[in-house]
Structure 1
Amino acid sequence: MKYLKLLAFLLVFTSCKNEILKEITIQEDVEFLADDALEGRQTGTDGEQKAANYIADRFKNLGLQPKGTEGYFQRFSFKPKTDPHQEVNYTVKDGDSTITATNVIGFIDNKAEHTVIIGAHYDHLGYGAEGSLYRGDSTQIHNGADDNASGVAVLLNLAKKLKDKNINNNYLFITFSGEEMGLLGSNYYTKNPTISNDKANYMINMDMVGRLKADSTLAVYGVGTSPIFKQTLKAHNNRFKLVQKESGVGPSDHTSFYNVDIPVLHFFTGQHEDYHKPTDDTERLHFNGMQVISNYIFNIITDLDNNGKLPFRKTKNESEEVPRFKVGLGVIPDYLFDGKGMRIDGVSEDKPAQKAGLQKGDIVVKLGDIEVTDMMSYMMALSTFEEGDKTIVTVDRKGKLVEAKIQF
């Protein structure tokens, strides 16, 4: 029903150009994109196309120019990978296994030499596509309110803020399809840009920015990809507990732009128990937090407006240093935790951690004989175990050390 109401509003908005109409809020954008009527926005589905049409209408009503290959749309077809290590095949013939997806692209043309790219993926997992962490029946819609209706809603809010502001750069707004299947939309765009990659100044990506926690922790990835980023982030931060990551490589669309030598910043409020599950719904989001994040990003863009083209810098690929392991505790780590140890943000059903009595909020400080000081040392410790092994895990539970027996 919310979907139908908002669609009716958009139709009125489009037809009544001379009337002063109600501004669409961040919350209303999320409510539309995460409504059951869009059936989880899985890549290539009717629900995803409804979302694409909505975003294109929002771009038009905000006064953005179309900058796709078909108006606001940049469609691409591909065959899903059967081998995770193979390159995706974008050049395909019609066939049963071919999927057609759509990036949606709008443009603010300030007649500037360089363009800032602002992106967020809008696809999700439908009724539980590959990547779902839900183990129930297959009729549950994965609405993806945080992942990533939240990022798209903040992108639309920034588009409104940047109209006729900070005119030393142009602004290209891209909502990507196919992110959940392997960054396909952003990868396709960087190989087929509608504005030359050489003219791109830097790229800002937002993926899961809807669950700002009580301590206001905000992760920003890619801070090492241009020398000016760290000081700019610090200069405008009067609210957040920033967790900064140097690398331009990560599990979201900014990686595609880093790979073509464009500086990137990726904003993220952290993983949670509803990630890739049907419970990632609108009512769980922190809308005031999303507005504060939008304001912060706008202030960063404003500060950078007079800096010309930002220099690009290669960073160490932190993912290449991750040790390989065959077992797991069955927990969701708190990737934003910056204290000593590995904080548990969620415990999966019927996994070793749950069977051992570990709880959300526990901080793993020792696994077997190995001290756990951070995420990397936790993964190093896991890599020493095989399925069937038994050991002792020590956790800090509200200041008290608790030991539990674990069998992998």
Structure 2
Amino acid sequence: MYMKLMSYALVLLLTSYVKAQNPVTYIEEQVSFLADDRLEGRATGSKGEEIAANYIAGQFAAAGLQPAGENKGFFQVFDFAAGKQASNSNYVEVPGVTIVKGNPIYFSGSGKVTAPLVSVGYGITAMELNYDDYEGIDVQGKIVCMQLSTPEGTHPHTKFLDYADERSKVARAMEAGAVAVLFYNTDENYTTDQLLDYSNNASQESIPVLLLDRNNIEQLLKYPEVNVCSDLQVVRKNGKNVAAMINNKAACTIVIGAHYDHLGYGESGGSLYRGEPAIHNGADDNASGIALILQLAKDLASSNNKGYNYVFIAFSGEELGLYGSKSAAEKLLDKDACYNYMLNFDMVGRLDSTRQLIVNGFGTSGAWSKLESLAKAQQFQLKTFESGIGPSDHTSFYLKQIPVLHFFTGSHSDYHKPTDDADKVNAEGIADIELLVRSLIADLDDEPQIDYIKTKEDTNEDAPRFTVTMGVIPDYAYEGRGMRIDGVSDGKPAAAAGIQAGDVVINLGGYDVADMMGYMKALSKFKAGDATTVTFIRNEATMEKPIQF
């Protein structure tokens, strides 16, 4: 009983302290805690993520918010693929003679086969170049070995450049009936590191695909039959969203969110740092956004803005591809409930002397025009973009036909590097943005549900892009073969071709699309004005339609 009373007293003390703090001081403390080395970069599924999630839940509770996650708690758990892991059972064996160790390629299937081994050169068929490594060779039911690279190497000017891709080579081998593929390298300028990058979540083929030393290949070709074994398994982990609510018993709800995950040591991709593994603290990306929504939760909990309910969600899995927000939008939102709008804060910690504030999603509702006068009164310089689609968590809610805004103070040289630390974050700037947002919420509090507008895709001249675009939003959480589409932009080639959300693209203009990498490679082959065909799966039926870029 004594311990329970002490625990209750501590909660009351923390609650009083949290509510009484100066906003700038409070924001500084949140950023400092979340961006501390002890959290080791808050990678999704890591111990650091767990510490951060528990801390954020504690802050919500101290501000007086109710749990809004699963099972009447603060958390909502989602499952994700965290790369792959190769066991020790990856080898080629000549029974009773030798066992040669191999490394599975990142898209290798798992299994064991016994068959004759045949060589097919570089594994390239290019009829327009009058070149075919398979000419006169029967590979049906056999294991094929082939060289990486091309007969001319992999320099940008080789006529074989379109045929150098390993996945395309494996697809050609499978088409010819091969039951396994053994790669080896004779090109001293060709690096194989990317082929053994098991952080890659690309879908796996149905046959073993191993990389061997060239000397081993010469030895194995002497035997009439070999055993090939590959064991490459997907590693699955759990991520955790943190959800809390201010229940004003209103008819409609506002969603407010920011992601709290970052890159850990850079092991899961996305890091722009080149060097030994180092903690990426992600102070601006996105401890800053979490600090803002925690302050906003405190302020709204004690405000007179009672016209709507408020759901606050701290997302994980954003850096992996919006995994957390996609899960939250699908599983936490009530399909029959009313959601007025969603506000997202991602990288709001570097407001500079120009006071430029970038706002995405400005075209998703006519109500957002109110923001312009509010920003002017608080001396912000707004730079707005119309589209509700972008590389942050608001996209998951826009695709549910909810008006969105994404606030962002701009990129910088520390982005996705270990140098994104707390001492570089402008806490006063975050407090100013929070005040601006609070003003917007107050202005809309006594107004009816705002309108939703479907926007056209913005062209951001600062963003990397291909010569052409289909105008689709990929489902980055999709783990099957192909590229699944989450959304389609009006006025773009995919929309004109009749492509719909949920379609899975498997071929573009004759180029196999096994995953996102395959899609990007296929897209790079076209220029504006080109016409071709796109093959996709819809409701288990394979369809093909013309498309023009």
TM-score, length-normalised on structure 1? 0.71
1:180 and 2:177 equivalent? Answer: no
Deviation at 1:196, TM superposition (A): 3.9
Alignment-derived partner of residue 163 in structure 1: 301
Matches within 5 A, 1:7-406: 13-14=10-11, 16=13, 23=21, 25-70=26-71, 71-80=73-82, 97-128=235-266, 129-138=268-277, 140-165=278-303, 166-196=305-335, 198-238=337-377, 239-318=379-458, 323-324=465-466
Q: What's the offset of the Cα at 1:14?
A: 2.0
Structure 1 SS opposite 2:376: coil
Distance 1:42 1:113, change over 3 A: same
Separation in structure 2 between the aligned mates of residue 299 and residue 19 of structure 1, nearest angstrom? 24
Rg larger in structure? 2
CA distance in 2, matches of 1:260, 1:191: 9
Amino acid at match of 1:217: Q
Equivalent position SS for 1:261:
coil
CA distance in 2, matches of 1:112, 1:222: 25
Residue 226 to residue 48, structure 1, CA distance change in 2 (3 Å):
same
Deviation sequence 1:199-250 (CA, Å, 0-9, x none): 1110000000000011011000111100110233324432111101100001
Q: Using the alignment, how far apart are the partners of 2:352 and 2:8 within structure 1?
A: 36
Q: Among the aligned pairs, what percent are the same residue?
A: 47
Letter in 1 for 2:320: M
**Does the C-alpha gap of structure 1 residues 77 and 19 become closer, same or farther in structure 2, counting only changes over 3 Å?**
closer
What amino acid sits opposite 1:118 in the alignment?
A: I
Structure of higher RCO (CA pairs closer than 8 Å, 6+ residues apart): 2
Report the alpha carbon displacement of residue 190 of structure 1 after superposing the two structures with TM: 1.0
Which letter does structure 1 place at the counterpart of 2:75?
Answer: F
Deviation of residue 117 (structure 1)? 0.5
Distance in 2 (alpha carbons) for counterparts of 1:49 and 1:17: 21
**Does the C-alpha gap of structure 1 residues 18 and 323 become closer, same or farther in structure 2, counting only changes over 3 Å?**
closer
Q: Deviations over 1:273-316 (max 9, x none)?
A: 00000000000011111110010000011101111111100000
* Distance apart, 1:99 and its partner CA: 1.3
Normalising by structure 2, we get a TM-score of 0.53
Superposition deviation, residue 17 in structure 1 = 6.9
- CA distance 1:323–1:141, change in 2 (3 Å): closer
Q: Relative to 1, partners in 2 of residues 1:78 and 1:20: Cα closer, same or farther, differing over 3 Å?
A: closer
Q: Supply the distance in 1 between the matched residues of 2:371 and 2:353 (Cα, whole angstroms).
A: 24
User: How far apart in 1 are the matches of 2:37 and 2:260?
Assistant: 15
Counterpart amino acid of 1:316?
K
1:20 to partner: Cα distance: 5.9
User: Structure 1 19/43 Cα, relative in aligned 2: closer, same or farther at 3 Å?
Assistant: closer
Aligned equivalents of 2:446 and 2:15: distance in 1? Answer: 35
Q: CA deviation at 1:114?
A: 0.5
Q: Deviations over 1:160-181 (max 9, x none)?
A: 1101421000000000010000
Structure 1 distance, partners of 2:323, 2:356, is 29
CA offset digits 1:126-158 (Å, max 9, x no partner): 0013000000111x1000000000000000010
Q: Compared with structure 1, are the counterparts of its residues 12 and 127 closer, same or farther at alpha carbon in structure 2 (3 Å cutoff)?
A: farther
Q: Could you tell me which residue of structure 1 aligns to residue 147 of structure 2?
A: none
Q: Secondary structure at the match of 1:262?
A: coil
2: CA distance between counterparts of 1:19 and 1:204? 27
CA contact (8 A) 1:34 1:149 kept: yes
2:368 is aligned with what amino acid? F
1:187 match: secondary structure? helix
Q: 1:324 is matched by which residue type in structure 2?
A: F
Note if contact 1:232-1:303 (Cα within 8 Å) is conserved in structure 2: no
Compare the two structures and name the one with the higher strand fraction: 2
Change beyond 3 A, Cα 1:12–1:40: farther
Query: Using a 3 Å threshold, how does the CA distance of structure 1 residues 26 and 12 change in structure 2: closer, same or farther?
Result: farther
Q: Which letter does structure 1 place at the counterpart of 2:243?
A: I
Alignment check: 8 A CA contact 1:233 1:300 kept: no
1:85-118 CA distances to partner (integer Å, 9 max, x unpaired)? Answer: 88xxxxxxxx861110000000000000001100
Deviations 1:326-354 (A, max 9, x none): 9xxxxxxxxxxxxxxxxxxxxxxxxxxxx
Distance 1:48 1:222 in 2: 28
Q: Is the 8 A contact 1:69 1:194 kept in 2?
A: no
Question: RMSD in angstroms over aligned alpha carbons?
Answer: 2.6
Change (3 A) 1:295 1:235: closer
Confirm or deny: 8 A CA contact 1:250 1:319 kept in the other structure: no
**2:82, 2:234 within 8 Å by CA — same for their partners in 1?**
no
C-alpha separation in 2, matches of 1:75 and 1:18 = 26
Gaps of 5+ in 2: 1-6, 84-106, 108-199, 204-232, 469-525, 528-549
Q: 1:15 to 1:292 in 2, by over 3 A?
A: closer
Superposed CA offset, 1:57-95 (max 9, x none): 001100000000040000011224777888xxxxxxxx8
Check conservation: 2:385, 2:458, Cα contact below 8 A.
no
- Residues 17 and 325 of structure 1: is their aligned pair in 2 closer, same or farther, counting only changes over 3 Å? closer
